[in-house]
Structure 1
């Protein structure tokens, strides 16, 4: 049996890393519902919710880039590993320049290793979660660096000065490969989540399929008594949102629901239930957040609701999340004072058994509904796909339900 060349083995490893990076791009654009394969792999390799926490973090993307919108950090990984795969294949096909390609790959991988160490540090010390998919790509970087070193260790001259010659040789090919990878990663990763349904490439098909799925979904029993809400209490359409105040996708969903409440005044009410992704107050979650921040935020929202100030506290908490301000007793007290709450009553409420009971009740409800991630939305007692909802679908569903009431 013919032995597979070492360069091709390295190319396969880097191609696997590129594929994992592509799954991370899809995960970023689709939230918890971004990709079933991605979620399954991540859940198998890391704590449940870790990938969601990383993809929702403020540093998971370069946001608001003109024309392009949000550019996920995973896109750079996809481009890098894709390009390294190209270099390994070229080093095998072009034996005369093989040394140059391998040296180029090695020094690029050393730089990537430094970047990966920085990303690992950020995950551990800032985000406080390690995404299993990210860990796979970091492992691939280590394997590729070691494998490439074994390829070049017998080279007499390992100087990086040979690299400019390779770039000159490749010329236009380098730009074409990099541009192609950027397009496939950004546009492919985004559009597959937004519009690919049963082989059709239109957003309308996606919305129609979601409407059909909603009609087929079973009716569920959801107890909304005592939960915070916005809108007309007698509205015929009820949206129930299970969320965490540290969740980026929950924050984006809050913006969508605010517009829905404005545009369907008297028709829609939104009921808010807490599902803190924080083991400090949620028995269904394994890892606690630093300073129990999700639990503190949930408690603050409940206590503000008791003084009929839920809406302003809700908005303020997500504004802090957006500004990377951690929720602590100090920050929520500051928000309460800013919004004119009775501070003695608010302080007493934060540590009261009533608040803990309310959170436990909502967590028990989430357990019954088999909720494992946020945001999870239910409309008139039927579940829709978890993650940030497609606003077009949400409006289409509301319009459909209006015709029936």
Structure 2
């Protein structure tokens, strides 16, 4: 293959820009995959809200179990090596591969950018920086490749040298298109066909008994859904702008349908902003702190009404609609739930409501809750976050079996026929 004339400055700039991409992808990987380690909101904050963290809490930040940022890290690491190798020994094939790779990156970033700025309430700013990095790398790769057409190599040689990377680029584009399709396709829930195998119940209950025990005084708590006589009692601490909290609510609704009459859920509040949560430090985040507090206060006030459950889940559904938790939207939800808006609005501003919110926050403090969602089942503290669906349902199955025996499983199977 013929060597290519090249401008070293373009290639060295490509190396430097690719390294910046590696650094940004590493930061994103840390924030999306290891958020407890990377707590700084530097470069991610919009009006005090860490958009990178918000995206990391969403399923949109992952392809299957893997954070998208890890693919970005590998992508920019490859380009760093490719630009460096091309600067040492210019090759026509490598120049073409650089161009094809950056074109693929532009296509992928166009899709990710659309998701970032239209599907996430608070955009991820670091992600936007990586889009600019990819654009810059494309310009550099295109400029470098165009130099080959100005060289003394015949056009036929240029086309011939580009053949192998063209095939590689086409394959890479096909693979990434498949990944993006899978990202956009509805995710299938882990199948839980029937109740747990009875032989596994003792082990499940033993593991459950080993979890940390906590106690709450439930007298006076109104924000409840499910059966009053349910012997499986769940406390869920959540924030209305937390995507995982939305998923936890959906999981609990599934659980109550799985075992009707056996489960009752207390919806507790831990808004992640110092506007109404004194456990959190830092200045209030406007307007997001107001939205978080609006939701918590409104849900507390709605707890006295029959339409509470519909109202509560309606507030969470504002996430899916990408709507803020403003008074206007709360009024619409209250009307739909049959709750008088004037009464609810007055209640939200009352000192009594703030005291009820502080009761939830104080209970969270007692058991050292710092993140949402957090679930407590029959006085046992589960690991923070949304429980694995299969494990959680098998735990509930085991608790039902412990109370009712095989008859409950027979009843479940009869319902599913």
TM-score, normalised via structure 2 length? 0.66
CA contact under 8 A between 1:304 and 1:346: conserved in structure 2? yes
User: What pairs up with 1:292-331 in 2 under 5 angstroms?
Assistant: 292-331=290-329
Q: Which residue of 2 aligns with 1:172?
A: 167
CA distance in 1, matches of 2:29, 2:162: 26
CA contact under 8 A between 1:10 and 1:88: conserved in structure 2? no
Q: Which residue of 2 aligns with 1:260?
A: 255
Give the direction of change, closer, same or farther, for the CA distance of 1:257–1:108 in structure 2 (3 Å limit). Answer: closer
CA distance in 2, matches of 1:39, 1:209: 31
Give the direction of change, closer, same or farther, for the CA distance of 1:333–1:181 in structure 2 (3 Å limit). Answer: closer
CA distance in 1, matches of 2:246, 2:219: 24
DSSP-derived class of the 1:171 partner: helix
Q: Which residue of 1 aligns with 2:214?
A: 220
Q: Choose the corresponding residue for 1:376, options 374, 377, 396.
A: 374
Q: Which residue of 2 aligns with 1:332?
A: 330
CA shift at 1:9, angstroms? 7.2
Q: Choose the corresponding residue for 1:40, options 37, 41, 44.
A: 37
CA shift at 1:307, angstroms? 2.5
DSSP-derived class of the 2:317 partner: helix
Q: Choose the corresponding residue for 1:358, options 356, 359, 375.
A: 356
CA distance in 1, matches of 2:121, 2:176: 28
CA contact under 8 A between 1:18 and 1:82: conserved in structure 2? no
TM-score, normalised via structure 1 length? 0.68
CA shift at 1:262, angstroms? 1.9
CA distance in 2, matches of 1:209, 1:40: 33
CA shift at 1:38, angstroms? 4.7
Gaps of 5+ in 2: 1-10, 183-188, 191-196, 404-417
CA distance in 2, matches of 1:183, 1:364: 47
CA contact under 8 A between 1:11 and 1:89: conserved in structure 2? no
CA distance in 1, matches of 2:383, 2:347: 34
| Superposition RMSD in Å | 5.1
Give the direction of change, closer, same or farther, for the CA distance of 1:253–1:22 in structure 2 (3 Å limit). Answer: same
CA shift at 1:268, angstroms? 1.6
User: What pairs up with 1:155-170 in 2 under 5 angstroms?
Assistant: 168-170=163-165
Q: Which residue of 2 aligns with 1:55?
A: 56
Give the direction of change, closer, same or farther, for the CA distance of 1:341–1:52 in structure 2 (3 Å limit). Answer: same
DSSP-derived class of the 2:214 partner: coil
Q: Choose the corresponding residue for 1:393, options 391, 394, 399.
A: 391
User: What pairs up with 1:67-86 in 2 under 5 angstroms?
Assistant: 77=72, 80-81=75-76, 84=79
